[in-house]
Amino acid sequence: MHPVRLPPTDWAAREVAHLARVEELVAGHEARRRGAVEHPVEDFLFVYYSNPPGKLRRWHPGPGIVLEDAGRMPRASWRHYVTDCCGGVALDVDHFAAERGSTVAFVRSLLAATVGRAPHTGCFGLHEWAMVYRSQEVRHTAYRLRLSPAETDEVVDVHQIRCTHYDAFRFFTPAASPRNALQPNRDSQVQLEQPGCLHAGMDVYKWCFKLAPLVPGELTLDAFDLARGLRTLDMRASPYDLRDLGYEPIPIETAAGKAAYVSAQRAFAERSNALRLRLLDVLDTIARPAVR
């Protein structure tokens, strides 16, 4: 791949735009963290995925881009970057591939398998309900359930649960796990994930930041935006009453609620697949190592 050389005015403008976008995305989270306040929707992407704002602020141009006159900038000392004889700084793709090749191969296989499947849109977000099924404990203790415990359990009882995502399934209560039509595990991830799954869509963001600095910053923030929207849908369809936070429930226990959920789910599946294809294009710029 022939590298593209960006003059300082061009790459600095992209970096500034990235930082401005990040500041808007993280301002609320950082303010709440200073005040020791938790938000079950807006803080999820920072807490669950453990990618702090500081790392999100780092803009990466992606492979095949040389940042001219950046040799004296802090970026020149960042991991996986190299400076050329003209003072240009670029991602050392070969070094990145040598160190992270097995991860790249796994993510590529997962994304390709997921984007090639039809979305399953009949889950209705019941994974959140299965996480409180027949239990005295809830994950978000500051917020009450919309229905009584018995009514919440009944919603699970009268529906078939078909969760395909291991990292959602592993939080099911012991009573709910056997009710799932599938028993996903880490080894079956590539075989089971599908684009209708909200958590698989949120994970596009995870793969973007885990593969930094290979992934361009713009793509990572687009994936963050998608994940935030998915988390919002996830919690609006959950058994929790979050109206005090401004989230109107999507009552998936009703026909109207199911229809609203599926409509949003289909739109998100299209968006998540578009990002998967963009990420696959990035991964395809480096060699295809074997999965270990």
What gap in Å lies between CA 273 and CA 111, rounded to an integer? 9
What gap in Å lies between CA 154 and CA 79, rounded to an integer? 52
What value does the mean pLDDT take over residues 257-281?
A: 98
pLDDT band at 1 (very low <50, low <70, confident <90, very high): low
What value does the mean pLDDT take over residues 113-128?
A: 95
* pLDDT at 264 exceeding the cut of 60: yes
Question: pLDDT of 164-186, one tens digit each?
Answer: 999 999 999 999 999 999 999 99
Question: pLDDT of 189-231, one tens digit each?
Answer: 999 999 999 999 999 999 999 999 999 999 999 999 999 999 9
Number of Cβ within 10 Å of residue 87's Cβ equals 15
Q: What is the 3-state secondary structure (H, E, C) of the chain?
A: CCCEEECHHHHHHHHHHHHHHHHHHHHHHHHHHHCCCCCCCCCHHHHCCCCCHHHHCCCCCCCCEEECCCCCCHHHHCCCEEECCCCCEEECHHHHHHHHHHHHHHHHHHHHHHHCCCCCCCCCCHHHHHCCCCCCCCCCCCCCECCCHHHHHHHHHCCCECCCCHHHHCCCCCCCHHHECCCCCHHHHHHHCCCCCHHHHHHHHHHHHHCCCCCCHHHHHHHHHHHHHHHHHHHHCCCECCHHHCCCCCCCCCHHHHHHHHHHHHHHHHHHHHHHHHHHHHHCCCCCCCCC
Mean predicted lDDT score pLDDT of the chain: 94
* pLDDT at 3 exceeding the cut of 60: yes
What value does the mean pLDDT take over residues 87-97?
A: 95
What value does the mean pLDDT take over residues 60-73?
A: 95
Question: pLDDT of 32-56, one tens digit each?
Answer: 999 999 999 999 999 999 899 999 9
CA angle 9, 10, 14 (to 5 degrees): 115
Question: pLDDT of 140-163, one tens digit each?
Answer: 888 999 999 999 999 999 999 999
pLDDT over 70, % of the chain: 98
